[in-house]
Homo-oligomer: A and B are copies of this chain.
Amino acid sequence: MEFKISAQDGSARLGELSFTRGKVTTPVFLPVATRGAVRCLSSENLIELGYEMVLANAYHLSMRPGTKVISAAGGLHSFMNWQRPILTDSGGFQIFSLEDTKIDDTGAVFRSIYDGSWHQITPEEVVRIQEDLGVDIIMPLDQPVAYPVSESLATEALVRTTTWAKRCKTSHRKEAQALFGIVQGSTYPALRKRSAEEIINLDFPGYSLGGFCLGEPKQEMNELVSYTAQLLPAEKPRYLMGIGTPLEIISAVGAGIDIFDCTFPTHIARNGSGLTGRGKIIIRNSTYREDSGPLDPDCACFVCRKYQRGYLRHLLNTKELTVLYLITYHNLYFMQNLMRRIQAAIGKGKFLEFQKEFGEKWSSGL
């Protein structure tokens, strides 16, 4: 993996990640394909939408269908019919969220959400799984903490995250797959600084910011993302894990973040909410019963060019699966268009103007 920054505007960066499987313009938003498919969409849809990279979840894929099946299929790219780059999350966050998970320095013991069987996960195993999947960017096992958390527990998780990062790096064999380091430290600036120093010291080709958006106030999150990003080496890509809404992404781009992923646009689509320049539209509302206008009047996607709000609402009300496809498609079109506009704004040195303009329209309401 190579990373080149072609323009900078304040702390916001326009760049390009290069892999053997293709190039990815940053700042980039990765649609989430937890189990190897973006909810409701085909790979062909994602190509049409212009996505250059997706995220999958190593833990989920290792449980179902298992790395043996995926290896037999020729690796995750062949398995999911996606020849462009893939980043996998380790799934540590999902594992540590399970009620029965027991954690110690070795790793974690947890019960499968699929069949209740017990499994052990270690830093070495997490790397092996992702190497077997054959993905392009690998996440190490880290220990996230809930919010709020005491400084002493956050410190303990930080120390373990560093130890595990070291073990992941030692066991990492396939250099073509880029293993990132993850910075933890909860909402304590001093811990974020310590974690960043320890992880940078291990020298990774890219850095992830973990443990954000867990319930802390937005303002605090934005400030701490900005603070943490500036601790990281300028020439390496920065990935803000699991984030976020359009406003959160724009704010984090302004802080120097390059990579994002979030289930937000696909998740709200399944609940019948569409993204527009003026914020979320809840299509299910009865006010749209006879509305013949498009989901988002400013959007050029086929859904907005061809389908009426009243029809989308009817399909939601009658539980027709077609509508989940249509709204998901639009929402991912919206997100990709947002990223293209962000990239263009940085290239022209007008990122702050874009942020202001987008924010004003977004909060003006429908």
- Residues of chain B contacted by A308 (CB below 8 angstroms): 73, 78-79, 81
Are the CB atoms of A314 and B64 closer together than 8 Å?
Answer: yes
Chain B contacts for A116, CB-based, 8 A: none
Segment at the interface with B among A147-155, A227-235, A322-330 = A322-330
Contact check, B81 vs A307: say whether CB atoms are below 8 A apart: yes
Chain B residue with minimal CB distance to A320?
B37
Given A40-B322, A73-B292, A324-B321, does the pair A65, B310 have CB atoms closer than 8 Å?
A: yes
A40 touches B314 (CB 8 A): no
- A204→B69 CA distance, assembly (Å): 58
Query: A50 — which chain B residues lie within 8 A by C-beta?
Result: none
A200 at the interface (CB under 8 A from B): no
Chain B residues near A320: list those with CB within 8 A: 35-37, 39
Count of residues in A whose CB is under 8 Å from the partner chain: 43
Query: Assuming the A-B contacts A42-B326, A302-B44, are A69 and B318 also in contact, with contact meaning beta carbons closer than 8 angstroms in the complex?
Result: no
Please measure, in the bound complex, the distance between the C-alpha atom of A299 and the C-alpha atom of B95, giving whole angstroms: 41
The residue that A323 contacts in the complex, of B37, B73, B324, with Cβ under 8 A, is B37
**Is A358 among interface residues, defined by CB-CB distance under 8 A?**
no
Chain B, residue nearest A39 (CB): B321
Partner of A40, one of B73, B292, B310, B321: B321
CA gap between A41 and B308 in the complex, in Å? 16
How many copies are assembled? 2
- Answer whether A38 and B322 are a contact pair too, CB < 8 Å, given A81-B307, A310-B79: yes
Known: A43-B306, A64-B314, A65-B314. A72 touches B292 (CB 8 A): yes
Which A residues are closer than 8 A to B by beta carbons? 35-44, 60, 64-65, 68-69, 72-74, 78-81, 289-290, 292, 302, 306-308, 310-311, 313-315, 317-318, 320-326
29 contacts between A and B (CB under 8 A): A36-B311, A36-B314, A37-B315, A40-B322, A40-B325, A41-B325, A42-B302, A42-B326, A44-B302, A64-B317, A65-B289, A65-B310, A65-B313, A65-B317, A69-B290, A69-B310, A69-B314, A72-B310, A73-B292, A73-B311, A74-B292, A78-B308, A79-B308, A79-B310, A79-B314, A80-B311, A81-B308, A81-B311, A321-B321
Given contacts A36-B314, A37-B320, A42-B325, 11 further A-B contacts (CB under 8 A): A37-B322, A43-B306, A44-B302, A44-B306, A64-B314, A69-B290, A73-B292, A73-B311, A79-B311, A81-B306, A81-B311
